[in-house]
Amino acid sequence: MNLNQITTRHKELETNIQQAFESLKGKGSFNPMSLMKLVSGGDLNLGALGLPENLFEELAEYQALSATLRGVAEKVAAKMGESAHA
């Protein structure tokens, strides 16, 4: 992935995560049936809360891309510091 692809995907994930947060925030209190559906069959059913089923995967990908972007920013900052002292 090049830097443009990384930043584009990072923005997409950020939007998806924000939408999931707003959806969860808009639910207010949960009724017992929603909570039962959430853990039905022993699996975590995020769809019962109106959340995307792949939320945890997207959070993990977002975290990984954030670390990559932070690394790039640190390298750029270091290069800028070297240039300023040269």
Model confidence over 49-61: pLDDT tens digits?
A: 778 889 999 999 9
Per-domain boundaries in the chain:
3-85
The residue that leads in pLDDT, 17 or 37, is 17
User: Which residue, among 63, 65, 80, has the nearest Cα to 2 in the 3D structure?
Assistant: 65
Q: Is residue 28's pLDDT more than 70?
A: no
What's the pLDDT band for 34 if we cut at 50, 70, 90? Answer: low
pLDDT of residue 51: 84
Q: Closest by alpha carbon to 66, among 5, 6, 4?
A: 6
How is residue 49 written in tokens? 């809360």
| Per-residue model confidence (pLDDT) at position 85 | 65
pTM metric for this prediction: 0.76
Residue 23: pLDDT over 80: yes
